[in-house]
Amino acid sequence: MMQSLGGDGEVINKQVILKDYVTGGTAKESDLEVISTRTINLKLPKGSDGVLLKNLYLSCDPYMHACMNKIENPSIDIVSFSPGLPIRGFGVGKVVDSGHPKFGKGDFVWGSTGWEEYSVLSRLESDNLFKIDHTDVPLSYYTGILGVTGMTAYAGFFEICCPKKGEYVFVSAASGAVGQVVGQVAKFMGCHVVGCAGSQEKIDLLKNKLGFHEVFNYKEEPDLEATLRRCFPEGIDIYFDNVGGKMLDAVLVNMRRNGRIALCGMVTEFQKDKPQGVYNLIHAIGNRVRLEGFIMSDYLHLYPKYLDFVLPLIREGKIVYLEDLAYGLESGPSALIGILTGRNKGKQVVVIAKE
Ligand SMILES: NC(=O)c1ccc[n+]([C@@H]2O[C@H](COP(=O)([O-])OP(=O)(O)OC[C@H]3O[C@@H](n4cnc5c(N)ncnc54)[C@H](OP(=O)(O)O)[C@@H]3O)[C@@H](O)[C@H]2O)c1
């Protein structure tokens, strides 16, 4: 709830800040803090060419765990959060004030923003925002299936995996944000789709709601190589890898000739001080398997094409999209930390306000 301090549109701006860099393993809720000690003016300074956003929905993404560490060699893809300042991520917001020629007051946008009620984005930051033209679908979807998550699934599956009808596809973290989209898109392509997840509830969702052909709970399978052999007696043509670690090793020995592995993410690596290592790579040689990492931002030129593809599927109810909504900035730390323990069922979103 916005609290006016009177005079000049100054209000309290609740924020989720990183207390200090995380050291020694997985981030904890206590590494983050919700504070209400800073204020913001709801009018941009005269001459500003940026945007003032009211943040509505925030996306919880696994890579944000890496940003909580001090990254020694920052890349353009990932930089550390700054201790004492609001953490950053993708979100959906409403423009409150704008000096940017592309955006006007009242526009809905998605893109990189702060974990706070209001954010002032510079001209450069605002240049990377996407204006939301289709508001007949839930706005929160632009944190996921209509934003980064969906583009990750689309680019990874079509551009990296190059699927063909009838191929055997395996998806890890299959009930998660990216995995659920990949699995359903693979089914539309006429592929045989197997997914894994970490609880019975998620297994039921994959089977009964998302329509995966076969599913297994990786936590209950003592021998992952054997499990994959059972699910894929003919071998795997495409592996969409969201987790890395032991699963990638088990997949490598089960790949078919000319198989493709999209290295999308390695959520298991965020939980270790030392990388686990890959032991079965030698199998990729004989089977002519192509492993390719990708970053969805390299494919943003495909975003309009992706929207043309996915919006009708959403409107016609042909694709199911699971969201796990946490309400209020106060719930942000636990929602964000929860995705690394698999607490989320579907895309984890923090709802700050609906409009
Ligand atoms: N390349 C890119 O451009 C790009 C863009 C976006 C996301 N990504 C990556 O895509 C992957 C999926 O992201 P998302 O947003 O869809 O996350 P998500 O699946 O919604 O959440 C992460 C899930 O990972 C699973 N998990 C956690 N720890 C695990 C472990 N030790 N072993 C196996 N599974 C584990 C959990 O599900 P279970 O209960 O099933 O274990 C958890 O729900 C992540 O690796 C992310 O970094 C890449």
Kindly list the protein residues whose Cβ atom lies closer than 6 A to any atom of ligand 1: 61-63, 148-149, 152, 173, 175-179, 197-199, 202, 242-243, 264-268, 271, 294-296, 339-340, 342, 344, 347-348
Q: Give me ligand 1 centre to Cα 9, in Å.
A: 40
Residue 93's pLDDT band (boundaries 50, 70, 90)?
Answer: very high
Residue 223's pLDDT band (boundaries 50, 70, 90)?
Answer: very high
Ligand 1 atom with the shortest distance to the CA of 77: 3
Q: What is the pLDDT of residues 115-152, one digit of tens each?
A: 999 999 999 999 999 999 999 999 999 999 999 999 99
Ligand 1 atom with the shortest distance to the CA of 343: 43
Q: What is the pTM of this model?
A: 0.95
- Taken in order of first residue, the domains within the chain and their CATH numbers are 10-144+322-351 (3.90.180.10), 148-297 (3.40.50.720)
3-state DSSP assignment of residue 182: helix
Q: Whose CA is nearest to atom 43 of ligand 1?
A: 342
Nearest of 310, 313, 324, 343 to residue 59 by alpha carbon: 324
Q: In residues, how long is the chain?
A: 355
Q: Whose CA is nearest to atom 19 of ligand 1?
A: 176
CB 108 within 8 A of CB 129: no
Q: List 192's β-bridge partners, or say none.
A: 168
Q: What is the pLDDT of residues 34-77, one digit of tens each?
A: 999 999 999 999 999 999 999 999 999 999 998 999 987 766 67
Return the best residue to mutate from 75, 90, 149, 178 for the ligand 1 pocket (most ligand atoms within 8 A of CB): 178
Range with the poorest average pLDDT among 147-151, 192-196, 212-216, 337-341 = 337-341
Q: What is the pLDDT of residues 280-299, one digit of tens each?
A: 999 999 999 999 999 999 99
3-state DSSP assignment of residue 128: coil
Ligand 1 atom with the shortest distance to the CA of 266: 45
On the question of pLDDT at 173 being above 80, the answer is yes
Looking at residues 258-284, what average pLDDT do you find? 90
Ligand 1 atom with the shortest distance to the CA of 263: 1
On the question of pLDDT at 304 being above 70, the answer is yes
Return the best residue to mutate from 242, 266, 300 for the ligand 1 pocket (most ligand atoms within 8 A of CB): 242
Structure confidence at residue 184 (pLDDT): 98
CB 128 within 8 A of CB 111: yes
C-alpha R_g of the chain? 21
- Residue 104 to residue 162: CA distance in whole angstroms: 39
Structure confidence at residue 148 (pLDDT): 97
Ligand 1 atom with the shortest distance to the CA of 347: 20
Q: Give me ligand 1 centre to Cα 241, in Å.
A: 9
Q: Give me ligand 1 centre to Cα 285, in Å.
A: 27
